[in-house]
Chains A and B, each alone.
Chain A
């Protein structure tokens, strides 16, 4: 490396280092947490070691039972057992009370434990619970990623759908994608004529119209979502206006519905569609369209055959941006949508901040990341030179 390159590296290094430690590393942690499975081994080290020898047929021998009781009696931190109990209960209902019951009674148990444990609770005399422990002695698990697709692993290792009453995530990803797609379609349909109109303006009118796009663009998503939250209330301005004009005769519940989510999201994301379109349209010289006209093309032909193809890069650039941002939207649906209008982001926040399941949060994050990554890669294929540096 020459002196210049060394200096260049030195200049880039501080920011790069910050990005790697503060961003890439956390993302890596998330990816790891989606498959990490430390709980069972941490709480039951002797049992998992003993289960390593077990074939999985019938019942394990006394050595495994004895190791298990020894683990239960070991002066472990409650937190380690808490982790175990939550982990197993997530795999199988009822494990919380089964494990906690065994731990409470462990001190009074007499050898041979392969008799006294099943006497305490019959499940210890069945192979399933031991298979479960053996499966999760593995330091890695596919549980979270499977569950994020409404699948689970049965005791025999086959992959089966979860109980329909607990199925949620396939529908959720589908909904996220559908909402995002519709928002993108609306953004294109509203944005295209608007951008064209802006590109025809000159002088003061252009400045004013551009301001109508740039000001919302610069105002935070929260403020714009808040505005919709206020505007859409039952006794808010929209209902008041509709009542006053006689369109409706009783106030309608608009907020916390899907249409409210569409309305607010399209509003928030529309500038991302208009601005790249405008940039493309401003570069098109009117000569082309005029040439087409002089060759006898009708107006719709001029549009379809000349103008539209030339503006497609703008449509695509804006649409990719809108789609990408929609897929990860959080604030707007949370504020103006109901529980049935939430997207994947809501559940990432839910599993991180409310429910206690970082594995699920990580798995959903990873899938969302992959989904977004695919969109970006697809977009880069279609549109070389795509600039994603617009304001988010």
Chain B
């Protein structure tokens, strides 16, 4: 090879090699959530604000609650996510299974949180929920409640729901006329589970199942489905920022709290604890609440009448018409119901 060609080869190879090498270098603290408008505003007012405050690098990723990824990371001892937002039952199970590190409550101030936002391995982040919504231009006479959402005679067309038993079984029982406060009592019996699946059978042919939070919005937006259950934040954003003519049914709300957790074996564990404490402080959350209807587990912010008045879409404002997801129920029955749901949905 002449010197010229080898120099040229080197010139080509060098940037490639550096590009490869950067993948292996020390990484920023990585925080992972469910994406959407919540994460877009959190990125600015919580994550990057903390990065500036603490003088460290912070990047954020999006996932759809796939716990297997976290388990695999911990098992392999190759932890690439540090802080992860998880739903309550997954948090408690992950805590029992040792994939989330115990929260250092000497660093995180528990007094600022609502009691249900304090757990061995989780710090309450924000309330979240799903409701039924639809496009009022396509369907001027839309459903009024969960029973209507199930009524394919009166409201023909496709529906979209989140893949999995959690929230779907509750919705089915609500549609079947079970009172909110009785949903989990009924669901804890084998007959109740059968009843919920039988109710789901009624509309099985009319359901498109989603996994990512953006999908139901896209399905309704493109007319693929008429009615969908979607995360409230996503619906509100479409209404407020994109001026979509959507109507959401707060009486179909099914909600819970998401938690911040630290993945066991994270090389940034101490920093992660400090960051979680900082991003659950009132000042930061007020900044985020100014631009996004969060329902933080921080008492001072979520009970602030001004914040509540400015954010009619806060999940906790609608607690009286919503069904609070029973964490204990899903820890106890989750594995089974997931297996049964997978078999049911596949056949």
Is there any pair of Cβ atoms, one from A and one from B, under 8 angstroms apart in the complex?
yes
Q: Which residues of B contact A256 (CB under 8 A)?
A: 208
CA distance A350 to B69 in the complex (A): 11
Instruction: State whether the Cβ of A4 lies closer than 8 Å to any Cβ in chain B.
Output: no
Instruction: State whether the Cβ of A235 lies closer than 8 Å to any Cβ in chain B.
Output: yes
Residue pair A82, B97 in contact (C-beta under 8 Å): yes
Instruction: State whether the Cβ of A372 lies closer than 8 Å to any Cβ in chain B.
Output: no
- Of A80, A82, A167, A340, chain B has the most CB atoms within 10 Å of the CB of A82
Q: Which of A86-94, A110-118, A298-306 lies at the binding interface? A: A86-94
Residue pair B346, A93 in contact (C-beta under 8 Å): no
Q: Which residues of B contact A94 (CB under 8 A)?
A: 332
**Smallest CB-CB separation from B75: which chain A residue?**
A79
Q: Smallest distance from the beta carbon of B272 to chain A beta carbons, Å?
A: 18
Residue pair A78, B343 in contact (C-beta under 8 Å): no
**Smallest CB-CB separation from B342: which chain A residue?**
A168
Residue pair B343, A356 in contact (C-beta under 8 Å): no
Residue pair B96, A356 in contact (C-beta under 8 Å): no
- Of B66, B197, B331, chain A has the most CB atoms within 10 Å of the CB of B66
Q: Which residues of B contact A168 (CB under 8 A)?
A: 342-343, 346-347
Q: Smallest distance from the beta carbon of A269 to chain B beta carbons, Å?
A: 23
Residue pair B98, A82 in contact (C-beta under 8 Å): yes
Residue pair A79, B97 in contact (C-beta under 8 Å): yes
Residue pair A338, B68 in contact (C-beta under 8 Å): no
Residue pair A339, B209 in contact (C-beta under 8 Å): yes
**Smallest CB-CB separation from A89: which chain B residue?**
B335
Q: Which residues of B, 333-347, contact A by the 8 Å Cβ criterion? A: 335-336, 338-340, 342-347
Residue pair A356, B68 in contact (C-beta under 8 Å): yes
Q: Which residues of B contact A235 (CB under 8 A)?
A: 222-224
Q: Smallest distance from the beta carbon of B214 to chain A beta carbons, Å?
A: 15
Instruction: State whether the Cβ of A355 lies closer than 8 Å to any Cβ in chain B.
Output: yes
Q: Which residues of A contact B99 (CB under 8 A)?
A: 79, 82
Instruction: State whether the Cβ of B158 lies closer than 8 Å to any Cβ in chain A.
Output: yes
- Of B163, B222, B335, B340, chain A has the most CB atoms within 10 Å of the CB of B335
Q: Which residues of A, 179-210, contact B by the 8 Å Cβ criterion? A: none
Q: Which residues of A contact B324 (CB under 8 A)?
A: none
Residue pair A85, B97 in contact (C-beta under 8 Å): yes
Instruction: State whether the Cβ of B34 lies closer than 8 Å to any Cβ in chain A.
Output: no
Q: What are 5 inter-chain pairs, A to B, with CB distance below 8 A?
A: A82-B99, A96-B331, A97-B331, A235-B223, A357-B68
Closest 9 CB pairs of A and B: A82-B97, A78-B98, A79-B98, A168-B343, A339-B345, A356-B68, A354-B66, A234-B223, A234-B224
Given contacts A85-B96, A93-B336, A350-B342, 8 further A-B contacts (CB under 8 A): A96-B331, A96-B332, A168-B343, A235-B223, A235-B224, A253-B224, A256-B208, A355-B338
